[in-house]
Structure 1
């Protein structure tokens, strides 16, 4: 009896497994009425679709890249240097706020001697604007630098391990990023 019960469970598990495999393979063959997005294929390392990035962040990345290239090229033995830098996000700004707060307290006593205090607080906040010739612009009180996601340096002198380490340390110091976010490779 126990052997038959064990065989039945084994057969049932095999049937369920087989049905799952058939279902998954049929699911791949059946086309649905929904739309599908085409994935662009890369040919020889070049994408056929342009990559769109926020122009503000892209411009900031270009400025930082050229600045790093100028500095790293000055290292003795570095040779020609090319830098690619990626930002996680753009800069963050904190704007001045005109905050008006009013507080109103009402104290009430009923005829049985009970007391009730009600406090009403009203806050209004408005962004402070500076009038300039180009129009009114918000007043920035704090600007946080954008976070660097990664830096790739390709340099002629990077074949030398000492120069490679020196350039990596320079990028880490200048950009304030840890070593695992910096890659230095030798140039052809």
Structure 2
């Protein structure tokens, strides 16, 4: 008896023949089952990072940087003739916000009426949900202070006030321009 091959007629050889026969008979069914198992395992392996990305993107869209806008204003104002180096400080009345879709259900009875309100959400698979955003609202500014080296010149002050008003939506009475050092 050799150690590498089972002898013909032995129980091991019979099982081997049966398994090869079954494999050849059901090879396509086994292939479909293997593909199904792979497809079920794929979301568990790579789906978590994909599900987190849209949430991070939507958070980034909602985030608003007052410092970033101040920096952009400073850069733009410094490029204007006569302004010189500018420093801008903005104050917010309210930050950016979103208007979410609402589902309102009303029931009217003989003696009373009742209504329930809930936020509309979209299921994105893997148990994650995201609210439906109808509108993205910009922040509302309360006031602005601009300190610049040309702040004592009335013509420069007027141009600075007009520029800041155009970019922030503030009225001229809410914008202060001062001469810097």
Q: Calculate the TM-score normalised by the size of structure 2.
A: 0.56
Considering only CA atoms, is the larger Rg found in Structure 1 or Structure 2?
A: 2
How big is each residue's C-alpha offset from its partner over 1:126-183, in whole Å with a ceiling of 9 and x where there is no partner?
2111345893222221233222111011112223221111101211222111112111
Give how far 1:65 is off. Answer: 0.8
How big is each residue's C-alpha offset from its partner over 1:30-73, in whole Å with a ceiling of 9 and x where there is no partner?
xxxxxxxxxxxxxxxxxxxxxxxxxxxx9632122112112212
Identify unmatched segments of 5+ residues in structure 1.
1-57, 105-117
Cross-structure match for 1:171:
164
Decide which of 76, 90, 99 is 1:71's aligned counterpart.
76
Q: 1:80 to 1:127 in 2, by over 3 A?
A: same
Point out the structure with the larger strand share. 1
Identify unmatched segments of 5+ residues in structure 2.
1-62
Cross-structure match for 1:85:
90
CA contact (8 A) 2:147 2:179 kept: yes
1:98 matched to 2:103: yes
Cross-structure match for 1:160:
153
Cross-structure match for 1:17:
none
Cross-structure match for 1:114:
none
Cross-structure match for 1:146:
139
Give how far 1:120 is off. Answer: 4.7
1:121 matched to 2:109: no
Q: Cα RMSD over matched residues? A: 2.5
How big is each residue's C-alpha offset from its partner over 1:63-104, in whole Å with a ceiling of 9 and x where there is no partner?
221121122122122221110111122223321012223345
How many residues of Structure 1 are paired with residues of Structure 2 in the alignment?
118
Q: Calculate the TM-score normalised by the size of structure 1.
A: 0.54
CA contact (8 A) 2:64 2:96 kept: no
For 1:161 and 1:122, locate their aligned partners in 2 and report how far apart those are by CA, in whole Å: 61
Point out the structure with the larger helix share. 2
For 1:123 and 1:161, locate their aligned partners in 2 and report how far apart those are by CA, in whole Å: 58
Q: 1:97 to 1:59 in 2, by over 3 A?
A: closer
Q: 1:127 to 1:73 in 2, by over 3 A?
A: same
How big is each residue's C-alpha offset from its partner over 1:8-27, in whole Å with a ceiling of 9 and x where there is no partner?
xxxxxxxxxxxxxxxxxxxx
